[in-house]
Structure 1
Amino acid sequence: MSREFPIGLTPPDWLVRNLRPQRAPVNRAAAARAAVALSLPLAVGLARGQPAYGALASMGALFAVISDTADAYRMRILNIAVPQLFGAIGIMIGAAVFGHGWTAVVTVTVVALVSGMISSIGAVASVTGLLLLINCVIGAGLPLPGAWWLAPLLMSGGGLLVLALTLLAWPLRSGVPERSSVADTYRTVADLLAAGGTDDYERLRLTVTQSLNESYDLVLARRAFHHGRSPDLVRLLAQLNAVTPVVEAAPAAHQRGDPLPAEIPAAVRLLADTVETGGTGPLELRLPDPADETGRAVDHALRHAAAVVTDRSPDPGTLDDRLGRPAALRVRAARATHDVLLSAASWRYGTRLALCIGLGQVLVSTVEVPRSYWVALTITFVMKPDYGSVFSRALLRALGTVAGLVVAAAVLTVVPRGWWDVPVLMVLGALVPALTPRGYGYQTAAITPVILLLSDILNHQGTGLVVPRLVDSLIGCAIALVAGYLLWPESWHARVGDRLADAVADTADHVELAFGEAVEPGARARSRRRLYRDLSSIRTEFQRALTEPPPNGRRAAAWMPLVVAVERIVDATTAARVRVRQGAAAPSAAEISTVARQLRELSEGLRRTDVLFAVRTDLTGPADSVLEPVRQEVAAARAIASPH
C-alpha cells in the first residue's frame, strides 16, 4: 500500500526538481583518465619524497578534468589548455599577495571582477575565468611550497597531463566524435518520424533540436580550425544539412495523425549507419509509394539525403552552413574583447561576482576563519554563470558539500597518509566525471573529498579540516545567496517572458519569410534552425527557473505551456511550408500578414507584463488554407496567455 506525504510535509516542486538526478551514461574513458591523472602526480611526488608537489600537480589535474567537457579533440585542446594558462597566472597573482592583508583582499576582488567579465563570453571563457579566480584564491589563501614559479608549473603540469591522456586516441579517432554526432542526429530523426501521430512526438522533437544544435556546434567548431575547406568536414556538413528537409517534413507527417510506415524510419537509420561508417556505395532504401503530399515530401527528402550521404565529394560551392560559417580568429577575438569591455551583462555579472568575493575576503580578514580560502572557493563555484540558478547552486553546493565531507571524514579517519592516498585518489578521481553529469550537487559531492584530501597532504590537519570546511561552505553559500541573488532584483523579479517575447517576434518574421516570394531557400532553413535553437535555449532557461522558489518558479511553471505553444507554431509553419512545396495553394498575403500581426501583438503583450494577460483570439481565415493549423496554434498560444 503506497504512502503519501501529509499535505504539510509534501516537499515543494522546486526542491524536488533540484534534488532529482539527471540521467546520463557513465563515461568510462573519462573516469579512467581522471583516475590516472589525479593519482599519478601524487605517486611521483611520494616516490621523490615531495608529496606536497604531487598534491599541487594533482590539484591542477582535477581542474583540467572539470574543464574537459567537449567531444571534439580540437575543442578539448582549447577547453583544457587555455584555462590552464590563465590558472597559472591566477596562482602567481594569489601567491604574490599571500599574507598581505588588505592588499590580498583588493587583489582577489579585482581578479574576481575580471574573471566574471570574461566568464560571460562563452563556454571556454567561462572555464578560463573560473580557473583564473580559483587558483588566485588558492594562492592567496594557502602557503605554497617552493619558489614562486613552482606552484604554477606543477598545477599546469597536472592539467597538461590530463590533456595528454585525452589526446592519446586522437590519431585513431580523428573526426570520429563529429561523425558519430551527425549519425546520432539521423537516429533521433528516425525516432521522431516513428513517433509521428503519437504522444511521444513532442519529447522527441526536443531531442532532435538538441542533437542538431550539438552536431552543428561540433562540426562548425572544427571548421574554425581550418583556413580552407576540409573535404571530410564539407561532407559532414553536407550530410547534416541534408537531414534538415527530413526534419521539416516531420511536423506535416505528425499532423496527419497516423504513424508513418515502418520502412521510413528504418531508411533513416540506414542513413545513420552509413554516415557513421563513412560509406559511399549506393543504398537501397525500399521506401513505400507515397500516398499523399506529405508522403511525397518525406520520400523526396529521404532520397535527397541518401544521395548526399553517399556522395564522397559534395560541391563546397553549393554548401550552406545553416548557422553561418565561423568567423576568423581575429574577428572572434575582436568580438570577445568588445563583449567583455562594453557589454552590460559582462559588467553586471563581473560586479556581482566581485561583490561576493570581496565580502567573503573582508569577512575572513576580520574574523578568524582557519584556511579561509574555502569561503571564496565556494562563492566562485556557486556564482559560475553557466551552472544554472544561483539559488539552486547554493542549495546544491551546501548539500553536496555535506555529502562530500562525510566521505572525506571517513577517508581522513581510516586511511593512513602516504602511499594509501594513491589508490584512494584513483577511486575518488574516477567519481568526478562519473557523477558530474548527474547534476551540480553530485559534482560537488565528488569534488569535495578530492580537494580535502589534497589539502590535507599540503597542510596535515587531518579530520580537523572537516568541520571548518562545512562552516566555510555554508558562509560562502550564504554570501552568494544574499549578495549574488537576493540583492539583485533581476534574480527574483526576473521578467521570464522577455526572451520568449523575442522568440514570438522572431516567429512572426519566420512566418512571413516562410511564405514570402523570391526568398532564398537557404534563408528559410537558417531562420528555422536559429528559431528552434533559440526556443531550445529558452526552454532550458525556463527549466532552470523552475528550480527556484516562488515567485520565479511559480511564474515559470505558469508560462512553460506558452513556450510549448510557440514551438508548435513553428512546427505548424514548417508543415504548411512543406505542403506548399508539394503543390498546395500558397496562402494569401493578407492571411500571412494577419498571423504575423497577431504574433507581434502577443510578443508586445509578453514584453510589457510579468503575468499572463488578456488578449483577443479572433483569428479567422479560409478553413482549407495551409495556414489553418498555424492559426489554430496561434489562437491556442494566445488563449494560454489569457487564462481567465
Structure 2
Amino acid sequence: MSEKNQWLSVFINPLRKQAWFETFRQAFWSNPDRLMAAKATFAIVLLAVPFVVAGKSVIGITLALGALAGALSETDDHPRGRIKSLALKVVSFGFSSFAVALLNPYPIILGFGLAISTIGFILIGGLSERYRGVTFGAILVGIYTMQGIDNSPGWYLQPILLSAGALFYGLLSLVLLFYHPWRLLEEQLARGYLALATYLEEKAKLFPSDKTRQGQLRNQLALQNVQLVAALDRCKDVLNSYGDAVKDEEPLKPYMRYFMLLQSLHERAASSHERYDLLSDDPENKELLEGIGQTLLQLSLAIKQFANSLLAGTPYRHPVSLAWMVNALKDQFEKAENKATHPLAPLINNLNRSHQSLVNLNEDQQRSLTPRLAKDERTIGERLKAQLNWNHPRLRYAIRLSLCFLVGFAISEGFQIARGEWIILTSLFVCQPSYSETRRRLLQRVLGTLTGVIAGVLIVQLFPTSAGQLVLMLASAFTFLFWLRRNYSISVIFITIFVLSAFSLITDEGVAIMVPRLVDTVIGSVLAIISVRLLWPDWQYKRLPGLIKEALSKNTAYFQAIINEYEHESTDDDFDYRVARRQAHRADNALVLAWQGMQMEPKNRQHFRKQAFTLTYLNHALLSYLSALGAHRQQQQLTTIELLSIAKDVLAALQEVTNSMQVQNGVRDKHIDNLMHEIKEHLNNTEQGEALQQFNLLFNIADVTAHILKRANVLAIHQK
C-alpha cells in the first residue's frame, strides 16, 4: 500500500508544512462526521458550481444528487473493498435510474417494478454491510430519477449524471483513503472508545447511589451498552475487512491490540461486584465510593483522549490526573479495615488494571499474536435462504416497504399529486423494521420537515440571487451530513432547505413546492406507520419470552466459558470465550431494545411492560456479575475446590432456569434456594480475601437467577 501512495506523498508532504493544512487536520480529520460532510460538500462544489454558473443548473444539481446518494450509501471497507463497492454502486445506480427512466411512460409497470425491485434490493442488502449500503443507494437514486424526470432534457441524462456524481464522490473518497489506508479502522476504534467513555460517565453515577435510583441507572447503563456493543461489532467488521484484504498482518497488529483492549476495558466497565446501593448506606464507604466515581470520570476522560489521538494521528499521552486519582484511591483504600475482605477491593483492582492498560498501551508485549475474530462463514446462498423465511424480519420489512411504495405511487398517480414522488421518498426514510422505530422516525421526519419549510422560506428571502441560493444549498448539504448520525431531526431540517434551494436553482419554484413537500411528507409518513401497524406487526410483548430465553441461554454459555477459563490456563487467543461474551451482550441488548421499543407502542399493546422493565434490569445485572467474574480470569484462579464445585452448581441452576423457560412450566426451582443457602454458609465460614469475593459473586449470580426465574414464570403463567 505504501508504494501505491508514493505519488500522493509528492503532493501531500509539502502541504503538511502549511499552517492552514494543520488547521484542516484538527478541524476535520479529527472529527469523522465533519470530515464526511466536508468530503461530500467538496464533491458537490466541484460538480455543481461550474454548471450552475454556466446556466446548466439541471446538470449541476443532478450530479450533486448523485454525489449525495454516493455519500449516504458509503460503506466502511478496506480500500480494495471500497473499489469493489464503488463498482457495484455505479452499476446498480445506473440500472435503477435507467429502469425508472425507461418505464416512466408506463406508470402501471413502473409502480409494480418499483415494488418488486425494492423487495430484491432489501434482501440483497441483508447479505452484508457492503451490499446494504449499495442497495439502499440504488433505491434512493431510483426515486431521485422519478423526481427529476420532468426537468431532464433527455430520458438518458439522469441515469448518466446520477451515476457519474456517485462515481466522482467515490473516487474523491478513495483518494483520501489511499492517502491514509488505516483511517477507517482508526475511526471505528475511536467511536468504540468514545462509546465506552460515555458508558463510564453514566456508571460513575452509581458511586454513591441509593436504592430508589438503582433501577433507573441500571437501565440507562443497559441502553448505553447497546450503543457500545454496536460500536464493538462495527470495529470487528472493519477489522475483518482489513484482515481479508491485507497479506502482511504486521501493520494490522496495533489496531487488533487496540480492539482487544477495548473489549477488555468494556468487560471491566460492565462488571458489577456488589449491590452498590447497599454499600452506599454505610457511612464508612462514602469516601471510597465517591473516589471510585471520580476515578471512573477520570478514566472516561483518558479514554476520550486516546480516541482523539487515534483520530488526529497524534501520540497518546496518559493524563497525570488519572494516575493521581488512582493512587489517591489506593491510599484511601489502605486505610480501610479488613482490606482483604473489603467488598470494594475487586472494583478498585479493576480500576487500577484499566489504568495500567492505558499506561502500557503501546507496549508490544501486551499481545504477541494476532487473535482470531468471529466471522459469518455462511455462503451468499445460505444467507439469502435464511432471509427467505416468512418469520424473518427482513423479508417482512421488504414486503411492507414495497407495498408502501406501491400505494404511495398509486396515490400520486391517481390524484395527480404534484411532486408525489416525495411520498415514496418519505416512506423510504420513515418505514423501519419495527413499529417503535417507525413511529420515532415519523415524528422526527414530520417535525424536521415542518421546521425546515418554515426556516427555509424565511432564509431564502435573504438569498434571492442564484449565487446566494447556491451557497445556501452547499451550506445545508454540509450541515445535513454533519448531523445525520448525531440527530436525525436536525438533519431533516437541513435536507429540506437543501431541496428548497436546489429547486429554486432549477425551476425558480423552491418556495412554491414547500407546501406540497410538507403534504407529501405527511402522506408518506402516515403510509409508513399504517403499514407497520397493520401488516404483520411484531409487538414486543410477543417477542419477550423468546428474548428472555435467548438471553438466559447466552448467559449460560458465557458462564460456562468463564469456568473453562478458570479451569484451564488462559491462552493468547481466547476465541471461544470472546464469542460467548459477545453473544451474551447481543442477547442482553435485544432484550433492552425490546423494552425500549415497547414504550413507543400503542397502550393496548404494552402488555407486561413492568415485567419487561424488571427483566431487563435483572438480566443486565446478571451479565454484570458474570462480567466481574470473567474480568479477573487471567489474574486469579478459583481458589478452592469448593468454589469450583459451587460455580458449576450455579451454572447448572442457570441451565435449569433456561430449560424451564423453554417449556414455560411456571415452577419455582427450589434447587436455587438450597444452593444460595449453601453459598451463604461458605460466606460465613470463609476468611480468605479472594475466595470470599468469589463466593460473594457466585451468590449474587444465583440470587439474580432466582429473581429472573420468578419474574419469567409469572410472565409464562400470564401467557397461558
Q: TM-score when scaled to structure 2?
A: 0.72
* Map 1:30-429 → 2, pairs under 5 A: 30-68=36-74, 82-141=88-147, 142-143=149-150, 145-167=152-174, 169-170=176-177, 173-176=180-183, 178-179=185-186, 182=189, 188=196, 191=200, 198-199=208-209, 202=218, 207=224, 210-211=227-228, 213-215=230-232, 217-225=234-242, 226-242=245-261, 244-245=263-264, 247-249=266-268, 251=271, 258-259=288-289, 273=306, 276=310, 292=340, 294=346, 309-311=362-364, 314-316=367-369, 319-321=370-372, 323-325=373-375, 333-339=380-386, 341=388, 344-385=392-433, 389-410=437-458, 415-416=463-464, 418-429=466-477
Higher helix share: 2
* Map 1:628-639 → 2, pairs under 5 A: 628-639=699-710
Q: Following the alignment from structure 1 to structure 2, what is the Cα–Cα distance between the partners of residues 441 and 281?
A: 37
Classify 1:86/1:541 alpha carbon distance in 2 versus 1 (closer, same or farther; 3 Å). farther
Corresponding residue SS for 1:464: coil
Classify 1:548/1:71 alpha carbon distance in 2 versus 1 (closer, same or farther; 3 Å). farther
Q: Quick one: which of 573, 598, 607 aligns to 2:626?
A: 573
Q: Following the alignment from structure 2 to structure 1, what is the Cα–Cα distance between the partners of residues 656 and 512?
A: 66
What whole-Å deviation, never above 9, does each CA across 1:178-231 have from its counterpart, x for those lacking one? 346546756847947977854498556865674465245325424324253521
Q: How far does residue 389 in structure 1 lie from its aligned partner after superposition?
A: 1.6
Classify 1:370/1:51 alpha carbon distance in 2 versus 1 (closer, same or farther; 3 Å). same
1:506 to 2:554 alignment: yes
The amino acid that maps onto 2:68 is L
Corresponding residue SS for 1:419: helix
The amino acid that maps onto 2:595 is F
Runs of 4+ residues over 6 Å off in structure 1: 71-81, 192-196, 260-272, 277-290, 295-308
> Residue 563 of structure 1 aligns with which residue?
616
Classify 1:52/1:176 alpha carbon distance in 2 versus 1 (closer, same or farther; 3 Å). closer
Q: How far does residue 84 in structure 1 lie from its aligned partner after superposition?
A: 4.9
> Residue 28 of structure 1 aligns with which residue?
34
Contact 1:60/1:154, CA 8 A, preserved across alignment: yes
RMSD: 4.3
Classify 1:282/1:453 alpha carbon distance in 2 versus 1 (closer, same or farther; 3 Å). closer
Corresponding residue SS for 1:224: helix
1:598 to 2:657 alignment: yes
Q: TM-score when scaled to structure 1?
A: 0.79
> Residue 644 of structure 2 aligns with which residue?
586
1:469 to 2:517 alignment: yes
Q: Following the alignment from structure 1 to structure 2, what is the Cα–Cα distance between the partners of residues 242 and 587?
A: 31
Classify 1:223/1:161 alpha carbon distance in 2 versus 1 (closer, same or farther; 3 Å). same
Q: How far does residue 248 in structure 1 lie from its aligned partner after superposition?
A: 4.2
Contact 1:565/1:637, CA 8 A, preserved across alignment: yes
Q: Following the alignment from structure 2 to structure 1, what is the Cα–Cα distance between the partners of residues 78 and 595?
A: 29
The amino acid that maps onto 2:231 is E
Contact 2:67/2:162, CA 8 A, preserved across alignment: yes
1:434 to 2:488 alignment: no
Contact 1:280/1:312, CA 8 A, preserved across alignment: no
Aligned length: 608
Q: How far does residue 54 in structure 1 lie from its aligned partner after superposition?
A: 0.5
Query: Which segment is superposed worse, 239-248 or 495-504?
Result: 239-248
The amino acid that maps onto 2:363 is T
1:487 to 2:567 alignment: no
Classify 1:154/1:239 alpha carbon distance in 2 versus 1 (closer, same or farther; 3 Å). same
Structure 2, unaligned runs of 5 or more: 1-30, 280-287, 684-694
Q: Following the alignment from structure 1 to structure 2, what is the Cα–Cα distance between the partners of residues 147 and 357?
A: 25
Structure scoring higher RCO (CA < 8 A, sep ≥ 6) equals 1
> Residue 627 of structure 1 aligns with which residue?
698
Q: How far does residue 299 in structure 1 lie from its aligned partner after superposition?
A: 6.3
Classify 1:138/1:181 alpha carbon distance in 2 versus 1 (closer, same or farther; 3 Å). closer
Q: Following the alignment from structure 1 to structure 2, what is the Cα–Cα distance between the partners of residues 174 and 281?
A: 24
Q: Following the alignment from structure 1 to structure 2, what is the Cα–Cα distance between the partners of residues 97 and 184?
A: 43
> Residue 17 of structure 2 aligns with which residue?
none
Contact 1:99/1:140, CA 8 A, preserved across alignment: no
Contact 1:375/1:473, CA 8 A, preserved across alignment: yes
Q: How far does residue 399 in structure 1 lie from its aligned partner after superposition?
A: 2.2
Q: Following the alignment from structure 2 to structure 1, what is the Cα–Cα distance between the partners of residues 358 and 54?
A: 60
Classify 1:306/1:629 alpha carbon distance in 2 versus 1 (closer, same or farther; 3 Å). same
